[in-house]
């Protein structure tokens, strides 16, 4: 049932993307077709998870804010491959769920900013993606999304318009680190991931990770 839900949603959305929008995907060859993989992307709109599902040649799994998992709606999200996570991005249950799936050679999607940032560019990310990559040794694939910031209400997700672009970068392989890790070291690994995402985006989308300014904002 879960795979049927996922395939049906992707089939329908691809039809609408090809009909109503200028949808482009670059770098599909950077995604390994088997084995564990972490997809790390910027986040502009509610359509971003579904857009990635249509753009990346793997069956994807997601974490989503816990508030979405209401009666009835939760059945759909679970079937689509999503798992609830606290809004602040710090959730041990979601972390363990993701690690379990990666150990089963699955593909996981994360938005490290833990919230949508449709204006003003990328915001400072939480370090959970880097920690997961370090602990599982799964490659991290950076992805830059542009053009979805105008898509808001659910009906717009079903009828996407505009120039939508998904750029997929080369894999980032973090080193194996044993034992506890200092926060500054972990944040430096996360900054490396975010810098790679920023490199796939036009400058107005880069925000605090702008390649034209020093990385000094740790708020």
How far is it, in rounded angstroms, from Cα 134 to Cα 113? 18
Summarised one tens digit per residue, pLDDT across range 171-207 is 999 998 877 788 899 999 999 999 999 999 999 999 9
> Is residue 21, in this structure, part of any structural domain at all?
yes
Of 100, 94, 96, the closest CA to residue 82 belongs to 94
Q: How confident is the model at residue 214 (pLDDT cuts 50, 70, 90)?
A: low
Residues 6+ apart with CB under 8 A from 120: 207
> Is residue 216, in this structure, part of any structural domain at all?
no
Summarised one tens digit per residue, pLDDT across range 34-62 is 999 999 999 999 999 999 999 999 999 99
Mean pLDDT of the chain: 91
Query: Which domain, by its residues, includes 173?
Result: 2-209
> Is residue 219, in this structure, part of any structural domain at all?
no
> Is residue 215, in this structure, part of any structural domain at all?
no
Q: How confident is the model at residue 219 (pLDDT cuts 50, 70, 90)?
A: very low
- Reduce the DSSP state of residue 135 to 3 states and report it: helix
Q: Is the pTM of this model over 0.85?
A: yes
Cite the DSSP H helix spans in the chain: 2-20, 48-55, 73-80, 92-103, 128-136, 154-158, 183-198, 203-206
For helices 128-136 and 92-103, give the axis angle rounded to 10 degrees. Answer: 40
Within the chain, what is the greatest distance between any pair of CA atoms? 51
> Is residue 70, in this structure, part of any structural domain at all?
yes
Q: What is the rounded average pLDDT of the residues 109-136?
A: 92
Sheet holding 82-85, edge to edge: 21-26, 162-168, 140-146, 37-41, 107-110, 60-65, 82-85
Quote the number of domains for the chain.
Answer: 1
CB 155: neighbour CB atoms within 10 A? 8
> Is residue 56, in this structure, part of any structural domain at all?
yes
Q: How confident is the model at residue 213 (pLDDT cuts 50, 70, 90)?
A: low
> Is residue 7, in this structure, part of any structural domain at all?
yes
Q: Domain with 202 in it: what CATH number?
A: 3.40.1130.10
How far is it, in rounded angstroms, from Cα 209 to Cα 112? 13
> Is residue 33, in this structure, part of any structural domain at all?
yes
Residue 68 pLDDT greater than 90, yes or no: no
């Amino acid at each position: 049932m879960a795979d049927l839900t996922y395939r049906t949603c992707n089939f329908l959305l691809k039809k609408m993307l090809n009909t109503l929008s200028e949808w482009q995907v670059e770098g599909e060859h950077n995604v390994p077709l088997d084995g564990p993989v972490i997809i790390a992307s910027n986040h502009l709109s509610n359509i971003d998870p579904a857009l990635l599902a249509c753009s990346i040649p793997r069956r994807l799994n997601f974490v989503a804010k816990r508030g979405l998992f209401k009666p009835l709606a939760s059945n759909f999200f679970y079937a689509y491959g999503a798992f609830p996570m606290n809004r602040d991005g710090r959730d041990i249950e979601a972390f363990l769920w993701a690690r379990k799936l990666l150990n089963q050679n699955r593909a996981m999607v994360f938005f490290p900013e833990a919230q949508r940032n449709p204006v003003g560019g990328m915001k400072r990310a939480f370090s959970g993606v880097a920690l997961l990559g370090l602990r599982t040794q799964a490659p991290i694939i950076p992805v830059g999304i542009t053009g979805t910031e105008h898509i808001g209400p659910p009906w717009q997700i079903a009828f996407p318009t505009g120039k939508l672009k998904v750029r997929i970068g080369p894999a980032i392989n973090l080193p194996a680190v044993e034992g506890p890790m200092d926060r500054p070291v972990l944040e430096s690994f996360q900054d490396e991931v975010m810098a790679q995402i920023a490199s796939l985006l036009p400058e107005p989308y880069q925000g605090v990770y702008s390649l034209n300014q020093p990385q000094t904002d740790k708020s």
